[in-house]
Structure 1
Amino acid sequence: MYHILLQDSSWATFIGRFHPAIVHFPIGFLLIASLLEIGRRWGKIAVSEGVITFILLCSAMGATFACVAGYLLSLSGGYDAGLLDNHMWKGIGVAAFAWAAWLVKSDMLQRLMPAGKIIYLPAILIATALTLSAGHDGGSLTHGEGYLTQYTPEPFRGLAGLPPVQAKPAAIKPITDIQQAIVYTDIVQPILEAKCTQCHSASKSKGDLRMDQLALLVKGGENGPAFVAGKGEESDMIKRCLLPENEDEHMPPKGKPQLTADQIALLTWWIDQGAPADKKVAQLTVSESIKSALASLGKTGPAGADKAEQPGMLSIKVPAANEQDIENLRKAGLMVNTLSQDQNLLEISAVNLPGFSDKQMELLQPVARQITWLKLGSTAITDAALPQIARFPNLSKLHLEYTDVTDKGIISLKPLAHLGYINIVNTKVGDKGLKAIAEMKALRSVYVWQSAVTDSAVSQMGRQKPNLLVMNGFNEAAVAQFVKAGDINDKKELKNK
């Protein structure tokens, strides 16, 4: 057992992860002991020396346990070596001086070494100072170097010799020309900076992996390469994103901002194309599903922006979905993203589950009220699934592209009072289906190219429904504008309800 704990193992990691909890005990006890000692010496507090002695003993024991757990946690790697070393020795110093303060304060040592009491005050003061310094290092290890002082205001910043606060970066501008965008620089890197580099950068390289530079991303970490060029779904960085959020290997960790379905799709596409460093979108092969994700970059900027920041969402609040129901969806291979924490609305995507079928639609029923964006494009669903979708009362966006749905099924969506956006590209939906859904009051945007809808029906619809935008041809700039217009109209319409 002793040998197991001295190396990186499940036991070592299990015990080591108690370090953040245990470390608060010596911090609290030392501060209390210092304050009580000051209050006692000033005559402000009536407290016996026995009480202070007991608190010091608790602080020394807590600091010792925290040191052991911290060492075991460090075996898992992924921390800046120099900062970790400083944190470790300061922590050991806290334990050593806490024990020294307790020994000197105890009756037993005072009888053996009466002169030892002269080191009592220095010991407790040094232990307290080291606690504060070690805590700062611990915060830097967890959140990145300079975490504590990053937002120090003036004039204290100048007095401490800290550089001026850097202005917050301006909002990412939309990509004006998607075809000329450099895939890594303009699309991939912003995603990584928004969702990955907090734990994988120069200040903190969890698992010895850095994602702030392409060369270091290619190099990989202690578990090997982060991705295999040409094999997106087989790449570790993609597989970890697709794991259930409650699993330890899932990335980003639970509680951190998660990648959206579009972001994962774009990262996978980039890797599938060989992970080029300097190629433009126009130089790569773009599938229909990726075209939609690329088009959205024209209105929201590079895919670092969260879905909750985008327009087209309902301005309502629903009860939070049951965690087990969400877990069941993820286990089935579906991607589930919370669009807004205060609204509890969900986006569910089958972008990586082409075999998703009508029978599996039952999995969505427990979260029917929470679903507002649903992506079932390129799956195996048919008309039989659409009556079930019609029972999602807050659905506002629906992707059915590249499926076998027809007019018969699409007509069953008419009860959806908030549906403002629907994609039926390359389906068997025709003029009859378009006419039926055009009667839906909230509908503002429809993709119909490569479907059975005729040009004459689109023209007629344009005259009859001037507020309904029907896109029956693909042009990257036009699609980006179409998506933007549709989303904004959706939002305005829904807020007026």
Structure 2
Amino acid sequence: MDFSFFQDSGWATFIGRFHPILVHLPIGFLLIAALLEVGRRMGRIQVNESTISFVLFWAAVGATFSCIAGYLLSLSGGYDEALLSDHKWQGIGVAAFAWIAWLVKSDFIGERIPFGPLFYLPAFALATVLTLTAGHHGGSLTHGDDYLTQYTPEPFRTLAGMEPLNTKKGEIQPIADIQQAVVYQDIVQPILEARCTQCHNASKKKGDLRMDEYAMLVKGGENGPIMVAGKGGESDMIKRCLLPESDDNHMPPKGKPQLTTEQITLLSWWIDQGAPADKKVAELTVSDPVKPLLAALQSGGAAAAGSVAEASAIDGLEVKAGDPQAIAKLTQAGLIVRTISAGQNLLEVSAVNVPSFNDQQMALLMPLADQVAWLKLGRTSLSDKGVAQISKLKNLNKLHLEYTGITDAGLAGIKALPKLEYINLVGTKVSDQGIKSAVEMKRLRSLYVWQTEVTDSVIKLLAKEHPQVVINNGMSEESIAAFVTAGDSIYSKLDQKKAQ
């Protein structure tokens, strides 16, 4: 049958995406029929053969529709051909043998088939076994060929001759000396494994793109290379991450774990440096926005964040979803908008790619006054006039204003924010008077003031009067890393709680 007209119209993809739902029908029906048959033959239950025949009929129907949907889904491409072929023929086998088992079991047809009963058990057994193998290969197509075995525990790994499970795939492990870290291997690859390779691997190559190996990543996909060496901002790999999550071209797709602003910044920096395969951090030029991100990866760099992340003011806070049109306007202006934690609708808004962001554009944030919890406006053209509008963001918890035009007057304007815990004022004109006002904030826990007009004597005095606030006036990598990761650690814990 020619399904090309389906494919051209988009119907193939629409129907095909029902395959993961339909495929559960034959699995369930066949396993129920098998249990009923075994129980009947062992004398454990009383069930007539017409009941088993009825279940087998729907197993065969479900397998048939699943095969059709699966074939239509395969037309979209991006799958390992050999694995797809195995999965396809195993699925067809499930449907074929399920129909045979039903036919010879049927009261109306089975009696008319010579030696029919001899075919029943072999056909039934083959349909059941093929269901398991087809399911395994289907999982491999979607998640990779090591999906079931990746986290095999000991002692089974040793008995099976598998390599020891030392680290979790997709996590950047603490790095003893960040300067000696190989950027692709130790930083970039773990990010890609955590967010991208589920759909872009050897088994499943969406868009004919693989991101599980360096050579394949550089090669690109069906539309050509996804990276422009030396130009992260012009690379399709980065541009797709910055699109609104509702955009069909946004990556990762809506509903999948999204890249954080920090991860996007690191990937873009790596591409800016030429996307090298084997160079270390020390061999590359590290920009100021990237320095704290790298420091946070160094073992011990984020340790200090743990103590301030235990009881956040927004822990468990739930708000209604933000206006999609308001979010779209922010992304159109070049800002990065992402959900901080699933189920809470709280947002992080970052102007890391928009240094021209100014006071007038602050109005874009106002429709999302309830949702914005983390706001990163460092190195923008913001002044006290724009900062005054931040006071309307009542759930703001983390604020970056480093290297902006804020002064003591602007800082005083946000003093009433009830949930603000972290403020970065590095490189601003804030003075002693400003931080004396700031430390009186009800929830403030961390204040970063190096390269400002704040004096050491006042810092020491305020440290005694307000011991709950950490006022940092140093440029150490550990202190930078603690600030960068403090808020993020809150939500890693929240997500862990939600997953339990």
* TM norm structure 2: 0.82
Q: Could you say if the C-alpha distance between residues 14 and 244 of structure 1 is closer, same or farther in structure 2, counting changes exceeding 3 Å?
A: same
On the 8 A contact 1:424/1:447 being kept in 2, the answer is yes
> RMSD value over aligned CA atoms?
3.8
CA distance in 2, matches of 1:116, 1:301: 71
Q: Could you say if the C-alpha distance between residues 106 and 379 of structure 1 is closer, same or farther in structure 2, counting changes exceeding 3 Å?
A: same
SS of residue matched to 2:323: helix
On the 8 A contact 2:94/2:127 being kept in 1, the answer is yes
CA distance in 2, matches of 1:310, 1:240: 34
Q: Tell me which residue corresponds to 1:437.
A: 438
Q: Could you say if the C-alpha distance between residues 254 and 309 of structure 1 is closer, same or farther in structure 2, counting changes exceeding 3 Å?
A: farther
Q: Tell me which residue corresponds to 1:222.
A: 222
The partner residue of 1:321 within 319, 322, 344 is 319
CA distance in 2, matches of 1:151, 1:489: 29
Q: Tell me which residue corresponds to 1:187.
A: 187
The partner residue of 1:461 within 454, 458, 471 is 458
Which stretches in structure 1 are left out of the alignment for 5+ residues?
493-497
- Matched ranges for 1:69-468 at <5 A: 69-151=69-151, 162-164=160-162, 166-169=164-167, 174-175=174-175, 177-298=177-298, 311=309, 314=312, 316-325=314-323, 328-329=326-327, 332-333=330-331, 334-341=335-342, 346-365=347-366, 368-369=369-370, 371-440=372-441, 442-443=443-444, 445-449=446-450, 453-454=452-453, 457-466=454-463
CA distance in 2, matches of 1:458, 1:369: 35
SS of residue matched to 2:277: coil
On the 8 A contact 1:313/1:396 being kept in 2, the answer is no
* Letter of the 2:22 counterpart: I
On the 8 A contact 1:229/1:275 being kept in 2, the answer is yes
* Letter of the 2:390 counterpart: I
* Letter of the 1:399 counterpart: H
Q: Could you say if the C-alpha distance between residues 201 and 117 of structure 1 is closer, same or farther in structure 2, counting changes exceeding 3 Å?
A: same
SS of residue matched to 1:390: helix
Tell whether 2:48 aligns with 1:51: no
Per-residue CA distance 1:427-472 (angstroms, 9 max, x = gap): 444454344324446545444455xx43xx4223233223566556
Which stretches in structure 2 are left out of the alignment for 5+ residues?
491-500
Q: Could you say if the C-alpha distance between residues 463 and 122 of structure 1 is closer, same or farther in structure 2, counting changes exceeding 3 Å?
A: closer
Q: Could you say if the C-alpha distance between residues 201 and 111 of structure 1 is closer, same or farther in structure 2, counting changes exceeding 3 Å?
A: closer
Q: Could you say if the C-alpha distance between residues 397 and 298 of structure 1 is closer, same or farther in structure 2, counting changes exceeding 3 Å?
A: farther
Report how far residue 227 of structure 1 moved: 1.0
CA distance in 2, matches of 1:406, 1:209: 49
Q: Could you say if the C-alpha distance between residues 127 and 221 of structure 1 is closer, same or farther in structure 2, counting changes exceeding 3 Å?
A: same
On the 8 A contact 1:316/1:343 being kept in 2, the answer is no
On the 8 A contact 2:19/2:70 being kept in 1, the answer is yes
Range with bigger deviation, 342-351 or 215-224: 342-351
* Letter of the 1:124 counterpart: F
Report how far residue 349 of structure 1 moved: 1.8
* Letter of the 1:237 counterpart: M
Q: Tell me which residue corresponds to 1:484.
A: 482
* TM norm structure 1: 0.82
CA distance in 1, matches of 2:21, 2:307: 34
Aligned length: 480
Per-residue CA distance 1:9-42 (angstroms, 9 max, x = gap): 6322211111101111111222222333334445
Q: Percent sequence identity over matched residues?
A: 59
